[in-house]
A and B are shown apart, each in its own frame.
Chain A
Amino acid sequence: MDRLAASASEARGPWREAWSVFKRNYAALVGLCILALVLTTAIAGPWLYPVDPFDIVGAPKTPPGADADALLGTDYLGRDLLAGIVRGGRPTLMVGFFAAMIATVIGITMGALGGYYGGKVDALLGRITEFFQVLPALLFAMVLVMLFSPSLVTVTFAIGFVAWTSMARLTRAEFLRIKQLEYVRAARAIGSSNSRIIWGVMLPNALPPIIVAATLATGTAILFEAGLSFLGLSDPNVMSWGMMIGSNRNYLREMWWAVTFPGVCIFLTVLAISLVGDGLNDAFNPRLRTR
């Protein structure tokens, strides 16, 4: 019987197996392609299209196609929108990625300690989580950004700081489940320390849903950044997609292009991240595998 099992999945780890499920999911692959395109543009774009997005290159409010120097048109100050799109990906993705990472680290720590130790530790950490959960997230993030003046770093921290509660609850639930499993008892029985059991034994088993949630959180953080920018709370020295929408929002009716292009970029990026997240969810969730 072990022979059969062995030949069915030739010496593959669970990660390799997840990938083999993932690559059969076309929606997720499309998402991955879009994401790869966005990432490539964000990384290599500034060299391929070396125009400063703050430079005024032509007449204000030029529609797309009218000026060969600004293919996507210009904004209300005459700045090149294509340059903004090309440059804006990097800060947008960075805010999304690092904010999601901050949220994940805080969430995992709170959830893992609460779920593992239980009792008073769990009660205390649970109350703290609930406190953050009932605060209106956008408002709280706005307050944080305004307290420390808007910059890429403060925006990232503010988003990470308001977005970790769901991650904490997810991690806690996973830890409560895994704590009951025999391999955790077995780890204790060979003399592993608490920290070794939490981070070395239980966390790797809790990771799949956390990775999915972290992926989706990246998308949410990008939307959050766009929201803050729309309200004028973004780093004034960095051209991000959100900031492009925010600075042109007063001219929405006269020049659809100035908000549409960055909006489409945000939409596609978040959609791609969601598709990848769903793909990861299917790949990691054995109950959905038989579909």
Chain B
Amino acid sequence: MAALLEIENLEVEFDTWDGRVRVLDGVSLSVNAGETLGIVGESGCGKSMTALAIMGLVPKPAGHVTRGSVRFQGEDLLAAGEAHLREVRGHRIAMIFQEPMTSLNPVFTVGDQIAEAARLHLGLGSGQARARAIEMLKAVHIPEAERRIDEYPHQFSGGMRQRVMIAMALICEPQVLIADEPTTALDVTVQAQIFDLLQELRDTRGTAIVLITHDMGAIAEMADRVVVMYAGRKVEEGPVEAILAQPAHPYTRGLLACRPQLHLGTGGARTVLQEIPGVVPPLHLLGRGCAFAERCAHALPRCREQFPPETMAGEGHHASCWLLEPADGRQAA
């Protein structure tokens, strides 16, 4: 079965003061209907850029999609015209953002903003669009939806605003919802509520979700499959169980080790929280090799010379790491 959304070999470059920088390099991934795909990585690794590229919203004029394809239901969105892309955005593929405090327009009521996409794409009149917006507010569990629809964003809390954003994104029943760090700015308890809501909406509406996050906990809770990105490249991809239980790439292992553990040490001895040494290298300084080599405890001389090919690590589980090469004689531990 063909995937609902399929990105192949996507390459995005940016003009900067340091010259042209490749922010996405050969990224391929796919999302099936009703599935949640998690994309993880540190800040600046290209997660959000992948999302923007899917939506055709790579910032211009600095950004350029130089290679690859984004196919949605078999149709290449990169080749599509702007008018057609506008029709896809918000209608077939919707997106929610990181900052619920600033992603709503302060001068319009939440009802107007939720109804906007329905007026735009479904051609609903203002009465129908309003009724639909109330329905959506109820679907995202906002109490007294009939009253609150006429309120302004500043009268909503952060968690409530993110619910409004989700209502806005889902009003046209898109096939794909891209959630770009939807809970980063929220309290932990509210985070859990938003994840529950997203899961519920996925299950009742069959919306595929692309969840972009740096939080492995969110991935464990939400995702069916996971793509791990580093410095603009996909370094590992696989089912969530495999990624969490047998991470194949040293970077993924590092990300998992960075999670604070909640069980108290017996006898009071706490384990020291691990970290990955160093930072993501500046993209204009990337060489030909594996970008993670500088920070990797297992780096081989070869790692700095040549980017490793995608290697099978299990059923539907791939990683780009020389340590997985059978020729190297060492399997990943």
In the assembly, what is the distance between CA of A1 and CA of B159, in Å? 10
Knowing A2-B160, A11-B151, say if A192 contacts B61 (CB, 8 Å).
no
Interface of A is mostly: helix
Residues of A within 8 A of B165 (CB): 186
Residues of B within 8 A of A182 (CB): 97-99, 102-103
Residues of A within 8 A of B169 (CB): 189-190
Chain B nearest CB: distance from A125 CB in Å?
Answer: 16
Contact for B157 among A5, A118, A181, A192, CB less than 8 A: A5
In the assembly, what is the distance between CA of A183 and CA of B121, in Å? 18
Residues of B within 8 A of A190 (CB): 89-90, 94, 116-117, 120, 168-169
**Closest B-chain residue to A4, C-beta based?**
B157
Contact across chains for B86 and A191 when beta carbons are under 8 A apart: yes
Question: Is A193 among interface residues, defined by CB-CB distance under 8 A?
Answer: yes
Contact across chains for A6 and B107 when beta carbons are under 8 A apart: no
**Closest A-chain residue to B117, C-beta based?**
A190
CB within 8 Å of A: which B47-105 residues: 55, 57, 61, 85-91, 94-95, 97-99, 102-105
In the assembly, what is the distance between CA of A201 and CA of B120, in Å? 14
Knowing A5-B154, A188-B89, A189-B57, say if A204 contacts B107 (CB, 8 Å).
yes
Contact across chains for B102 and A181 when beta carbons are under 8 A apart: yes
Contact across chains for A189 and B157 when beta carbons are under 8 A apart: no
Chain B nearest CB: distance from A1 CB in Å?
Answer: 5
Contact across chains for B105 and A193 when beta carbons are under 8 A apart: no
Knowing A182-B99, A186-B103, say if A191 contacts B91 (CB, 8 Å).
yes
Contact across chains for A192 and B120 when beta carbons are under 8 A apart: yes
Knowing A189-B55, A190-B169, say if A14 contacts B106 (CB, 8 Å).
yes
Residues of A within 8 A of B155 (CB): 2, 5-6, 9, 11
Chain A nearest CB: distance from B5 CB in Å?
Answer: 15
Contact across chains for B95 and A192 when beta carbons are under 8 A apart: no
Interface size bracket, A side: 20 to 34
Question: Is B203 among interface residues, defined by CB-CB distance under 8 A?
Answer: no
CB within 8 Å of A: which B273-288 residues: none
Contact across chains for B105 and A192 when beta carbons are under 8 A apart: no
Residues of A within 8 A of B104 (CB): 183, 186
Contact across chains for B152 and A13 when beta carbons are under 8 A apart: yes
In the assembly, what is the distance between CA of A193 and CA of B91, in Å? 14
Question: Is B150 among interface residues, defined by CB-CB distance under 8 A?
Answer: yes
Chain A nearest CB: distance from B47 CB in Å?
Answer: 15
Residues of A within 8 A of B107 (CB): 13-14, 204-205
Knowing A119-B61, A190-B120, A193-B86, say if A2 contacts B156 (CB, 8 Å).
yes
Residue-wise interface mask of A (1-41) relative to B, using a CB-CB cutoff of 8 A (1 in contact, 0 not): 11001100101111000000000000000000000000000
Residues of B within 8 A of A192 (CB): 86, 90, 116, 120
CB within 8 Å of B: which A162-219 residues: 181-183, 185-193, 201, 204-205
In the assembly, what is the distance between CA of A91 and CA of B324, in Å? 84
In the assembly, what is the distance between CA of A93 and CA of B107, in Å? 30
In the assembly, what is the distance between CA of A205 and CA of B103, in Å? 13
Residues of B within 8 A of A12 (CB): 152
Residues of A within 8 A of B151 (CB): 6, 11
Residues of A within 8 A of B91 (CB): 191
Chain B nearest CB: distance from A112 CB in Å?
Answer: 16
Indicate the member of B86, B105, B120, B168 with the most A CB atoms within 10 Å. B105
In the assembly, what is the distance between CA of A14 and CA of B154, in Å? 9
Chain B nearest CB: distance from A198 CB in Å?
Answer: 13
**Closest A-chain residue to B118, C-beta based?**
A190
Chain A nearest CB: distance from B173 CB in Å?
Answer: 13
Contact for A191 among B88, B109, B154, CB less than 8 A: B88
In the assembly, what is the distance between CA of A12 and CA of B151, in Å? 7
Residues of B within 8 A of A6 (CB): 151, 155
Residues of B within 8 A of A187 (CB): 105, 116
Contact across chains for A185 and B57 when beta carbons are under 8 A apart: yes
In the assembly, what is the distance between CA of A133 and CA of B253, in Å? 60
Knowing A189-B55, A190-B168, A191-B88, say if A14 contacts B120 (CB, 8 Å).
no
Contact across chains for A2 and B157 when beta carbons are under 8 A apart: yes
Chain A nearest CB: distance from B108 CB in Å?
Answer: 7
Q: Which A residues are within 8 Å of any B CB, using their own CB? A: 1-2, 5-6, 9, 11-14, 118-119, 181-183, 185-193, 201, 204-205
Can you offer 7 A-B residue contacts whose CB atoms are under 8 A? A11-B150, A11-B155, A182-B97, A183-B103, A190-B94, A192-B86, A204-B108
Q: Which B residues are within 8 Å of any A CB, using their own CB? A: 55, 57, 61, 85-91, 94-95, 97-99, 102-109, 116-117, 120-121, 150-152, 154-157, 160, 165, 168-169
Smallest CB-CB A-B distances: 9 pairs: A190-B90, A191-B89, A182-B103, A2-B157, A191-B90, A189-B95, A190-B117, A191-B86, A183-B105
Q: A189-B55, A189-B57 are in contact. List 15 more A-B contacts (CB 8 A).
A: A6-B155, A9-B154, A14-B107, A182-B102, A185-B57, A185-B97, A186-B168, A187-B105, A190-B117, A191-B85, A191-B87, A191-B117, A192-B120, A204-B105, A204-B108
